Amino acid sequence: MTVVDNLLTGDLANLARLRDHAAFTFVQQDIIKPLQIEGPVDEIYNLACPASPPRYQIDPIHTFRTCVDGTLNLLTLAEAKGARILQSSTSEVYGDPEINLQHEGYRGNVNTCGPRACYDEGKRAGETLFWEFGAHRGVETRIARIFNTYGPQMHPDDGRVVSNFVVQALRGDALTIYGDGSQTRSFCYVDDMVEGLIRLMASNEKMPVNLGNPGEFTMLELAKLVLAKTGSAVPMTYLPLPQDDPRQRRPDIARARGLLGWQPVVPLDLGLDRTIAWFAERVRADRQKELLPS
């Protein structure tokens, strides 16, 4: 197995368990540059690109190029190697959706000139490239539309809502609610997502498939759940809602159920317990490091 990462938002520590395997290779590279991989390649998972809004907005042109030039480079590699390739697309292709349950036939409501466009439009273009290579160049393509995913090993400063709330509660900081907290998201635990991606890769489906957990929560509900589970009494502080922040998001996973026999099995309640346990350990370790004399 070869892992390619430019470590823009990734952390080598997350690969610690894999690095000792004889069959494991790590390449530090940006996929915007063409990849040279020796020998045969069976499958490629394109999981590249920061997914957290504050992270992907730091360098929007680079984000866009990761999604377009990077995806084109990997498709070219797949074609040359005869490899099957899976694209991590996103629920962001639906933008700020006008319908409550987003199914794959919905064409979305994306602002092309706004702070989220570099990611949303990049991912939409990525799907177009996948479709062209799949429909007209004989490449075995798969497209997963991934909805909000969370779990252990996220970066404490990732900036997305689950890690923000959990880390804030554990550190004793106020929870940052953007807007009035009534916007909704559907949160999928990482193990469920990985299982969905593997099943999609193994399937014969070339058209996009939603992968996500249909349980829908407001950000206020999530905040209260995190406070209850961490036993924290920190206050909530209300900050402005970022521009173009989707009001609602909930996947229709009928296609994933039918085509892949897949559905999430880890409810938010359990996934949060596991995530909080991991972050609690991480926050403790970080505190200890701060206390050690340098």
- Site residues (CB under 6 A) for ligand UDP? 52-53, 148, 160-161, 164, 176-178, 183, 185, 219, 241-242, 245
β-bridge mates for residue 95, sequence order: 109
Question: Could you please report the per-residue DSSP string of the chain?
Answer: -EEEE--SS--GGGGTTTTTSTT-EEEE--TTSPP---S---EEEE--S--SHHHHTTSHHHHHHIIIIIHHHHHHHHHHHT-EEEEEEEGGGGBS-SSSSB-TT---B--SSSTTHHHHHHHHHHHHHHHHHHHHS---EEEEEE--EE-TT--TT--SHHHHHHHHHHHTPPEEEETTS--EE--EEHHHHHHHHHHHHHS---S-EEES----EEHHHHHHHHHHHHT----EEEEPPPTT--S---B--HHHHHHH-----S-HHHHHHHHHHHHHHHHHHHHHHHHS--
Question: Which residue number, 73 or 163, has a Cβ lying nearer to ligand UDP?
Answer: 163
Catalytic residue, candidates 56, 94, 119, 150: 119
Question: Which residue number, 235 or 293, has a Cβ lying nearer to ligand UDP?
Answer: 235
Question: Which residue number, 4 or 272, has a Cβ lying nearer to ligand UDP?
Answer: 272
Question: Which residue number, 2 or 176, has a Cβ lying nearer to ligand UDP?
Answer: 176
Minimum distance, C-beta of residue 206 to ligand UDP, in the bound complex (Å): 26
Minimum distance, C-beta of residue 126 to ligand UDP, in the bound complex (Å): 16
Minimum distance, C-beta of residue 183 to ligand UDP, in the bound complex (Å): 4
Question: Which residue number, 35 or 283, has a Cβ lying nearer to ligand UDP?
Answer: 283
- Contact between residue 149 and residue 187 where contact means Cβ atoms under 8 Å apart: yes
Active site residue 189: no
> How is residue 182 written in tokens?
């009534």
Minimum distance, C-beta of residue 7 to ligand UDP, in the bound complex (Å): 21
Point out the residues that are catalytic: 119
